[in-house]
Structure 1
Amino acid sequence: MPTATDPPSKKGAERKSRILDAALTIIGRDGLAALSMRTLATEAGLPLGAVGYYFANKKQLIGEAFDAHSQRELQRVVQTISSIGDAGSGTDLAERLTDFVVEGLQNDANSLVAEYEFLVEASRRPEVARASTAWLQALQAQLANVLRRLGSSEPTTDARLIMAAIAGLEVDNLTSDALTRMQTTAIRESLMRLVEALSLAWARNPPERRREKHS
């Protein structure tokens, strides 16, 4: 008789994926506190025992749900990093960052809400904190590479600043309603202003001048 530790069959893998989809739906719609084995079984349309077969407890479920979220967001992140990597100017960079923020806020699956639920949970669970930190650091490192090419003398610090601004804009605009044109414009103008200010700083203190000061 198969056990939960055996490699899953194709049908088993599909059922587990279905359960994780349901878990992410609950987290994004109702919050992490609303997630339980019983609510998950109801959402997935499965017997309670089927959920318990794949997940021994809520702790394991949260960990695997976060992993699933990270994997499913990976493609969007990779595409954004690739797009940012092609940015030829500060204005172009700001536009692409705006697209990234707006796309995340308009996701019908509430994946951004789920992401922030996981970030809150990371303050309580070291294993979730490690996973979320690694994911954010990967994006920050790629952004820093772009900023270095655009002339930043402090690319790591500037990348951290931009990511903090993005997080603030996401939180300010998290809502179940569709983004208005005014909100989208405000997001774009905020990121434009930030990148313009950084560009001025880069012009005043280019990497060559910084190296001369420390030589």
Structure 2
Amino acid sequence: MRTKAITAIVAAALLLTACSTSPERKDGAAAPAGATTPTSSAPAAPTSATTSEAAPAATKTSATSTTLVLGPQGYGALRLGMTREQAVATGLLTAFDDSGCAQAFIKGRPAGQGRVFLSPDRGIAAIQAWPTLLTAEGLRAGMSVTEARGLYSNWTIVDGTLTQGRHFAKVPSNDKAVFRIATADNKVADVTLQLANQNCYE
């Protein structure tokens, strides 16, 4: 009897062991043997472009950063001292008039303004501005003499008076040039970038 009881206990233990190693049943479709059970992935984090914390768009370049100015070397590709051939090659000028110092105009300028002088031995000698063409420091035709003088500490009266005359101001970064500034009625009437030793006019 004792032997039969021990045998029965061992048989019961083997049966329990066999049951505990059988695969556990889960709801849903069965996966092939040996396949890894897929896990639920967390949704991808939104990119910065779709969140309220998105970086601001790059600031557009200010129009003034690309606006052509007069000086210190010239206007755009047109430079003081250029030969006729070099000046014509810029595509910025009308045809030269060869009476005296050759003269041309900057294309697209207001009528009667934007005159360019070509010295026979010194190349482009002077480039005249117009009211919407400013120097790098902000000098323009039409501003008050007080405003204009505040831009250049080296302002020199050549003839006439401060409010009605002709003046020179040294050009920053170009010691071979000056701004010729004509004043009338306490305002700037004309601004020209010219070689300091130009020989085309007074």
Instruction: Tell me the TM-score range normalised by the shorter chain.
Output: under 0.3
- What is the TM-score when the length of structure 2 is the normalising length? 0.26
What TM-score do the two structures reach when normalised by structure 1?
A: 0.25
Q: Which has the higher strand share?
A: 2
Q: Quick one: higher RCO (CA 8 Å, sep 6+), 1 or 2? A: 1
Q: Looking at CA atoms only, which structure, 1 or 2, has the larger radius of gyration?
A: 2
Instruction: Judging by fraction of residues, say which structure has more helix.
Output: 1
